[in-house]
Amino acid sequence: MISKRNTATDAGTGRGRWGWRVVLGGAFAFGLAALTPLQAQAASMESVGYGAFANEGLYPEQTSCSGRFTQPNVPGGATKTAVYGGRTITLKYFYSSGCGSFARIENAPQGCAAHSNRLTATQIEWVLETVDPGIDFAYTKVINNLDGRLSKAVLFCDNQRLAETAWY
């Protein structure tokens, strides 16, 4: 004898056509898929002392100074170029008097990184960002060079220092 399910009595038991387990499982799988990046994302790295001052740990667009960073009159220039792997890579230093500074590199291959360095009384604190797969630029989080602290931008490719600005 073949018995037929009674949909009236099965309602709410999870044994119906679209039981709550199926719905929750599908929602969970969809949520995980939505959160999974489509490509690898480079993460910033920093020295131990980085993050001690306001705005450090934030990208420029996350600060209250978003849209107000400019290239200052750095001795020797706020933009530098270097040729690496057949490309002319541009290093740019940006500054805001309310938040600090950051470094950006353009036309750079993977293996290159933008560095922001801050000079302290005893050492150099830093933050860097590498070039993500599929793009040719990178920029650092903000480094606080306010209140008399100095910073500069540095371009590294495959652990070679290729260009840097003066301290500002």
DSSP per-residue string spanning 121-149: SS-EEEEEEEPPTT-SEEEPPPB---TT-
pLDDT digits (tens, 9 = 90+) for 45-89: 999 999 999 999 999 999 999 999 999 999 999 999 999 999 999
Q: 49 with 6, same domain? A: no
Q: 68 with 137, same domain? A: yes
The pTM of the full predicted model, rounded to 2 decimals, is: 0.75
Q: 49 with 117, same domain? A: yes
Q: 85 with 23, same domain? A: no
Count of structural domains, the chain: 2
Supply the range of the domain harboring residue 29. 1-36
pLDDT digits (tens, 9 = 90+) for 82-131: 999 999 999 999 999 999 999 999 999 999 999 999 998 899 999 999 99
Q: 57 with 26, same domain? A: no
Q: 18 with 52, same domain? A: no
Region of 85 please: left (phi>0), alpha (psi -120 to 50) or beta.
left
DSSP H or E stretch at residue 156: strand 150-157
CA–CA dist 42, 108 (Å, integer)? 14
Q: 77 with 32, same domain? A: no
